[in-house]
Amino acid sequence: MHLKFGIRRLATMTTDLDGKPAVNESARKISAPLWAKLTATFFCTGLMYPGPGTWGSAATVLLWWLIAHFIGPSFQPSAATFLAALAIGIGIPAATAVARATGLKDPQFVVIDEVAGQLIALIAVPVTWKSLLMGFILFRVFDMLKPPPVRQLERLPEGYGIVIDDVAAGLYALAIMHLLLHFGVLLR
């Protein structure tokens, strides 16, 4: 029932100039293909407020925790890498299509970039609640602070600028995660 409502809402979604759901008639209708809308919003996760990026990251951590329980620990780094690459590869054209359809440079409801960055932050990290929580926090901090060169990567055109800056934030979080693992702050 909720998914059906979410997909119907997504199919007719309109946004104001800030990328938030619009309530007036002057809003632009998103005319991007449904696959692009579903991908860019990570199956409507980006429609959750407040903080759609945080919801996208949280959904990714939860989904990764579920997936990781069905694959062996030795395959988890490869699986996380593959899923991150898939999110990047499909996310860039989806984000581009949605950004073009809305006329917005980086719509808030596009969260496939958070999915990619969050998965990167969890590559070769043990699937424990402490590690997943730390990876989530670190990625969100780097995604919000955008240390150099993350902020500069936002200037890339269309979907590249939307996705690649979060990839860089994920790499920062990944580096810190592995330092914490190396020095025993987090257990392997």
Per residue in 155-179, pLDDT tens?
Answer: 999 999 999 999 999 999 999 999 9
Q: Is the pTM of this model over 0.95?
A: no
**What per-residue string of b and e applies to 165-188 under the rule 16 or more CB within 10 Å gives b?**
bbbbbbbbbbebbeebbeeeebee
What pLDDT sits at residue 31?
A: 85
Domain boundaries, the chain: 30-182
- Please check whether residue 9 is in contact with residue 44, taking contact to mean a CB–CB distance below 8 angstroms: yes
What pLDDT sits at residue 17?
A: 42
DSSP label at 122? T
Per residue in 23-54, pLDDT tens?
Answer: 322 224 678 999 999 999 999 999 999 999 99
Per residue in 68-123, pLDDT tens?
Answer: 999 999 999 999 999 999 999 999 999 999 999 999 999 999 999 999 999 999 99
What pLDDT sits at residue 187?
A: 81
Average pLDDT over residues 131-160: 97
* Neighbouring-strand partners of residue 21: 15
